[in-house]
Chain A
Amino acid sequence: MSDLSPRRKRVITIALAAFLLAHAFVLVVGDQHWPVMSFPMLSFNFDDELKCTVAFGVPEDPAKPEFRLMPNQVGVAGQTLSYVFAKIMKYPERNPAFDQLAAACPPGDDAGRGCARAHLADGGLEFLYKRYEAQRKKHPDKLPPLRAMRLYDMRFTPSPHVYDVAGKQLRHEWSPR
């Protein structure tokens, strides 16, 4: 027999029910509301075609091919690098600076969405460029100077080499002035 008062037990039970219902809601709806999560980590089929937005560096030397920027080349965690540009391209309106950026944009059909997105992407790539340059000063022999940074929407398909590029579409380009 419990020593807790019935009132306290009721409060704990109701709080637990609300806690579980919130998680069940997130599981059903699929939208995560930090820190109430439905734990979908690694639940997708990586044997399907994969799509993501990827940052590339374009070397100054036209003979050298552009290359995907890796976390160690820019000193930014892969988990930031892999997702932040997808968010900028997909829903720029969720960035706190969006209203201010959109208001400064010329009026258009999409209420400044495309223009604000471009500003955010510019700022994001400029930051990466500065990080890259800082790494390049330390390893000038390994990292070539860049003339531009690009964002691509990329598609990959599984292959004997794990993944092959199936498609690459330029979304944005930024050049250091």
Chain B
Amino acid sequence: MNRARIAAWWDDFMFAPLSPHRLGIARMLYYLGLYWAWFGRPSVLNPNYLSVVRLPPEYLFPQSVFHYLPIATGSDLDVLTLLLKIVLVLGALGFLTRITSVLVFALVFYLMSVPNMYGRVIIIHAIPVMVTGILACSRAGDAFSIDRLIRDRWSRWPLVTGEPQPSGHYRWPVQVICIYATLAFSFAALNKLGHTGLAWVFSDNLSLMFRANLQNQACLPLGGGGRITELANWVGEQRWLCKLLAGGTVLVELSSPAALFLRGWLRAALVAGLVASTVSFYFLVGADAWPIVCALIFFIPWERVWGLVARTRAPARP
């Protein structure tokens, strides 16, 4: 009986029919967000770090499939980066989405992985690799896409469903991405508590991280000073504020899986807390937050937002 209940709950949680709008809008915003995060400002891809600084073979410490995959030359990396720009735009617009989303994944996987084979592994680069991989397996182009517009006018247009109805096909990718995002946050909290315990919150840990700069950074993984050094240093001087921020970060990260089950304002508040902690670390410590923030787009019930927009745009009844 319990097993049947769990199966029914799982079926509902993962596969209950959902409007294609949520996945379609989230796909569009996610790809646009990645485009901005990587190409709208200086980043590891803008310009491609490894084509600017051709690191020597002595620095190469390959992992996983990169024991077998070749490292592209600088000019090839530039071509792949340009290709990623193009397919991100095409994926956001939803043109040949089944193909472009696979290409986005392949290029993100390669271009985000290669810098990690030299020296430090930037862990958060794994998040866009996984999320684009999940999108590549989904039917994310069935709504809010050029594919949809063409298919509505020309029924032979391939790779997109005829008349999309609410379906489990549109729910499971959203749920898997949300599960992965909460896993990343909750594992980050478990690591903090596992490696450091409550000292991560109650020691001068965060204060030191904020007060560090290039001259006194010691072995801090991100150098020091964050993106706004004066602000980071000022916050670092307020020890009580650092402990409050550290406690809030661990609490929000630990409770992130609840965002999968909560509804309404509670869910919105929790997701806003995750965004706030990620963005404040971006400014105060320097960790690149935007690809993670982009993944949180999938928590927003876009089908309801779209419903509201559609209702307000509908002509008033006589």
A in complex with B: yes
Number of A interface residues in the complex (CB < 8 A): 62
Interface bracket on B: 35 or more
Could you list 19 further interchain pairs (A-B, Cβ under 8 angstroms) beyond the known A9-B14, A94-B61?
A9-B11, A23-B187, A35-B129, A39-B187, A43-B191, A43-B195, A44-B196, A45-B200, A46-B209, A47-B203, A76-B53, A76-B55, A78-B222, A79-B223, A80-B120, A96-B62, A96-B67, A124-B59, A162-B211
A84 near B113 with CB under 8 A, answer: no
Q: Mark B103-119, 1 if CB is under 8 A from A, else 0.
A: 00000010001001011
A43 near B64 with CB under 8 A, answer: no
B221 near A42 with CB under 8 A, answer: yes
Residues of chain B within 8 A of A91, CB atoms compared: 61
B214 at the interface (CB under 8 A from A): yes
Given the known interface contacts A16-B176, A39-B187, A158-B208, the answer about A45 and B196 at a Cβ–Cβ threshold of 8 Å is yes
Residues of chain B within 8 A of A76, CB atoms compared: 53, 55
Residues of chain A within 8 A of B124, CB atoms compared: 39, 41
A87 near B61 with CB under 8 A, answer: yes
Residues of chain A within 8 A of B49, CB atoms compared: 77
9-residue interface stretch from A26-34, A58-66, A105-113, A136-144: A26-34
B58 near A124 with CB under 8 A, answer: yes
Task: Kindly state the separation between the CA atoms of A76 and B67 in the bound complex, as whole angstroms.
Answer: 24
Q: Which chain A residues have a beta carbon within 8 Å of chain B's beta carbons?
A: 1-4, 9, 12-13, 16, 19-20, 23, 27, 32-47, 50-52, 70-71, 75-84, 87-88, 91, 94-97, 120-121, 123-124, 127, 131, 154, 156, 158, 161-163
Q: Chain B: which residue is nearest A43 at the CB level?
A: B191
9-residue interface stretch from B86-94, B167-175, B261-269: B167-175
A37 near B204 with CB under 8 A, answer: no
Task: Kindly state the separation between the CA atoms of A70 and B126 in the bound complex, as whole angstroms.
Answer: 27
Task: Kindly state the separation between the CA atoms of A42 and B187 in the bound complex, as whole angstroms.
Answer: 12
Q: Chain B: which residue is nearest A79 at the CB level?
A: B120
Residues of chain A within 8 A of B187, CB atoms compared: 23, 27, 38-39
Task: Kindly state the separation between the CA atoms of A83 and B120 in the bound complex, as whole angstroms.
Answer: 5
Task: Kindly state the separation between the CA atoms of A1 and B18 in the bound complex, as whole angstroms.
Answer: 11
Given the known interface contacts A13-B10, A35-B126, A156-B218, the answer about A40 and B179 at a Cβ–Cβ threshold of 8 Å is no
> Can you give 20 A-B contacts (C-beta < 8 A)?
A3-B167, A9-B14, A16-B179, A19-B176, A20-B179, A27-B191, A35-B113, A37-B121, A37-B184, A45-B203, A45-B205, A46-B220, A80-B53, A80-B59, A82-B221, A96-B57, A124-B56, A154-B218, A162-B218, A163-B218
A84 near B118 with CB under 8 A, answer: yes
Residues of chain A within 8 A of B200, CB atoms compared: 43, 45
For A75, give its contact among B53, B66, B180, B188 (CB under 8 Å). Answer: B53
A2 near B191 with CB under 8 A, answer: no
Q: How far is the CB of A146 from the nearest CB of chain B, in Å?
A: 18
Q: Which residue, of B11, B15, B200, B218, has the highest number of chain A Cβ atoms within 10 A?
A: B218
